[in-house]
Structures are given as C-alpha cells and as structure tokens.
Amino acid sequence: MGSLGLRALIGVQTSRQLSLHSTATMGVAMSLRDGSINLSNTWSRQLSETTNGNIELILGPESSIGVGWQKKEQKNAASGEIKIGTGSFGAMGHYTHRFSSKSHGRIAGRVGSGSLELEVGGGRKVSNFTTVRMLYTIGIQGIFWKFELHRGGQKLIVPILLSNHLNPVFASGAFVIPASLYFALKKFVFKPYYLRREKQKFLENLEKTQGQVREARAAAEKAQQLLQNVANRKRNKHLEMGGLVVTKAVYGNRKALTTRNRSEEKVDEVASQIIDVTLPLNFLIDESGLLKLHDGVKKSGIMGFCDPCPGEEKQLYVEYTYGGNKYEAIVDDYEELLIPQERHRI
C-alpha cells in the first residue's frame, strides 16, 4: 500500500500473515520537507477470541517502541497502549460499554511527557451508518467539550474550549450540566419518541404480514399434527428413562420473549408474536438422547416451526428436564442449540 497526503509525506506499507493468529506490517515513510525517513514495524497477534496484542517499533528522527492491547466483546470494549520514545513517553487507555444496540458510554485517559487528560462521554447510533458522540475532556490544556459525528468511514470532530484554567467549580458544572440535560432529554423526549416510532413500525409491519403469518401458522399446525405421534412416543420413552424431555419451547420475537412473564397486559399481542414449538423439538431428539439445531440455519425453516413476526429479531427459548433436573436455554435465530448441557441447569 502506498500513500501521499497533505502532510508532505510519501509512504509504502506491506503486510504479511505469519501464522493463523499473527500478522506483521512493515512500512517506510519519507518527508518531502526535510527528506527524513521513518521505518515502522508492527507485529500483531490474536491472544484469544476477543483479545489482540501488538508491538510497534519506529526508527527515525523520533524513534519509539510501543506495546498495545485491545479487547472487544459484545457489550464491552477496551484498549491500552504504552509508548516510549527517544524524547517522550506516553500511555493511554479507553473503555467503552454498550448500554444497548444504539447507545454507549466511554471513558479514556492519556498521560505522558506532554499530556495529562481524562475524557468521559457517550454516543448514540442515529441510523445504520451514523453515530453522534459528546465527550467531556479535562486536562492540562484546559476543559473541552467535543462533539463527534461518525458516518461510514468519515469522522467530524468539533472541539469547544470552555476554559484554559482548571477551576474545580467550573469543571464540575461543565460535566454535570450537559450530562443532566442529556438524561432528561433521553427520558422525556428521545425515548418516548423512539418507542412510539418503533410501535408504529411494528403495527404497520404486523398489518402488512398478517395474511402471510396466518398461512404460515396453519402450515406449522398441520406439520405438528404429523409429528405428534412420534414426538409423544419419544417423550414418554425419555420420561421413563430420565432422559431429555422438552417441557416448554417457544420461538418468536426477541422482545416478546423477554417481556412475556413480566406483565399480564397485552397477552394477545405477545402471543401473536411467538409460536409454541415444544412438540417439534421433542420429535428432533435423536436416538442418543441429544437435541442439536445447527449453527447458521434459520429456525423458522424447521418442520413444525414458522415465522410469527417477519422482519423482527427472533429467539428460541427452551425449558427441558434431564436426569430429574430442570434446565433452560435461549438462543438467537441462527445460533446453534445443543442440549442437554450442564451450564443450562437452573
């Protein structure tokens, strides 16, 4: 890869896969202003399924060596880096927590020979490709607000300097006032509006797909009638042996499954978004007494199942008994289900 930009630099970079979990990158960059050359070498390794580490060595007018670490999970992400150079040193780290699929909070810190900074803030996804973020920054350079707009691979940052001096009262107010304003707007404006919009979209989709769902449910009921005799025979056999027996299984809208036991209100609405699949799962238990639904296969295509809520995210919830003990499991639409497992035990 080569690059030429506004910083009067020309560079070349190449990467090589050293092993299944290791990568090396080497680059050279030359300044068109003074002719100085920087050589960089980076070695990256996957430490676990969610963790990566890297070492970076830069040789040039400002040589340095850095060690970095990154960890990314479903709801949390963290990274850290320590860099030591010929004339400077520094360390930085950040932690991000996802409160939901659309909002997150972030805290970051930097310390070094020329910087001392703490950053706190949060952001929200406003569309499939756009995220907005507000950050409060306090450090030796002063107190800032930062407004960020991320769209695709583009990023726009607007920093606002509030004060050059670290006054405790002013610093506290600069943090508390916007945070309080955000939570008030979120609770009384944004969240009610978002819930109304989601409800409206759901009702429109429900009306549009009502006929399709009715036909799919009828087909699923007929399929379950065909499976009934064999499923009941397997169930009775496993009950006598103390083997695997599915006592309850429902498939459908993720939100409906989450709230089905929390409130007695809108029972019909919840029921319309899920389907009972206890019988098909008992039928699918094999001769060895195991039940396996393969990864990557949409569960609405299984015999005796149907899609009760087209366009919505779906899950499968299962309660079962094995060896006289009770178990429960919940998996996403395309996720593998393998039971019995000890980790499902209640």
Asked if residue 188 and residue 240 are part of one domain, the reply reads no
pLDDT of residue 8: 66
Same domain, 223 and 340: yes
C-alpha to C-alpha distance for 253 and 270, rounded to whole angstroms:
9
Give the DSSP letter of residue 345.
B
Residues 218 and 170 in one domain: no
pLDDT of residue 266: 55
* Same domain for 179 and 148: yes
Are 104 and 193 in a shared domain?
yes
pLDDT tens digit string along 25-37? Answer: 999 998 887 888 8
CA distance 203 to 111: 52
* Structural domain ending residue among the three candidates 9, 39, 72: 72
Q: Which residue has the higher pLDDT, 5 or 137?
A: 137
Residue 91's pLDDT is what? 96
Give residue 162's pLDDT.
92
As a whole-number percent, the residues of the chain with pLDDT over 70 amount to 94
So what's the pLDDT on residue 2? Answer: 47
Question: What is the distance between the alpha carbons of residues 94 and 99, in angstroms, rounded to a whole number?
Answer: 16
Residues 172, 68 share a domain: no
Lowest mean pLDDT among 47-56, 195-204, 273-282: 195-204
296-341 residue pLDDT tens:
999 999 999 999 999 888 999 999 999 989 999 999 999 999 999 9
In a domain, 131, yes or no: yes
Residue 265 predicted with pLDDT over 80: no
Range of the domain at 37: 1-72
Q: Output the pLDDT for position 156.
A: 93
pLDDT at 240 over 50: yes
Domain end residue (candidates: 160, 193, 208)? 208
SS3 163: strand
Report whether 272 contacts 192 (CB < 8 A). no
My answer on whether 225 and 116 are in the same domain is no
H/E stretch holding 269 reads: helix 267-271
* Mean pLDDT taken over the chain: 89
| Residue where a domain terminates, one of 47, 72, 97 | 72
Closest of 247, 246, 244, 266 to residue 255, by C-alpha: 266
CA–CA distance, 77 with 219 (Å, rounded to integer): 44
pLDDT digit string (tens) for 59-68?
Answer: 988 899 999 9
Residue 3 or residue 87, greater confidence: 87
- Does residue 301 lie within any of the structural domains? yes
pLDDT of residue 208: 87
Cα gap 238→318, rounded to integer Å = 17
**Is there a single domain that holds both residue 291 and residue 245?**
yes
Do 109 and 191 have their domain in common? Answer: yes
Q: Kindly report the length of the chain.
A: 346
Q: Are 278 and 247 in contact (CB under 8 A)?
A: yes
> pTM for this structure?
0.62
Section 133-145 average pLDDT: 92
If we measure between CA atoms, which residue out of 300, 298, 254, 274 comes closest to residue 101? Answer: 254
> What pLDDT score does 268 carry?
60
Tally: H helices and E strands in the chain: 6, 19
Answer yes or no: is 15 within a domain.
Answer: yes
- Neighbouring residues of 62: CB distance < 8 A, sequence distance ≥ 6: 38, 85, 86, 87, 88
What pLDDT is stored for residue 3 in this prediction?
A: 47
Q: Are residues 167 and 242 in the same domain?
A: no
**Residue 88 pLDDT more than 60?**
yes
Residue 238, CA distances (Å) to 16, 124, 142, 242, 319 in order: 54, 50, 70, 6, 15
Residue-level pLDDT at 191 = 83
Q: Is the pLDDT of residue 165 over 50?
A: yes
- In this predicted structure, the answer to whether residue 1 has a pLDDT above a threshold of 60 is no
Domain count, the chain: 3
pLDDT tens for 101-118 read 888 999 999 999 888 999
Quick one: pLDDT at residue 321?
A: 96
* 339 and 299 both lie in a single domain: yes
Kindly state the percentage of the chain with pLDDT values over 90: 62
* Residue 239 covered by a domain: yes
Per-residue pLDDT averaged across 176-180, rounded? Answer: 86
Give 53 or 166, the one with higher predicted confidence: 53
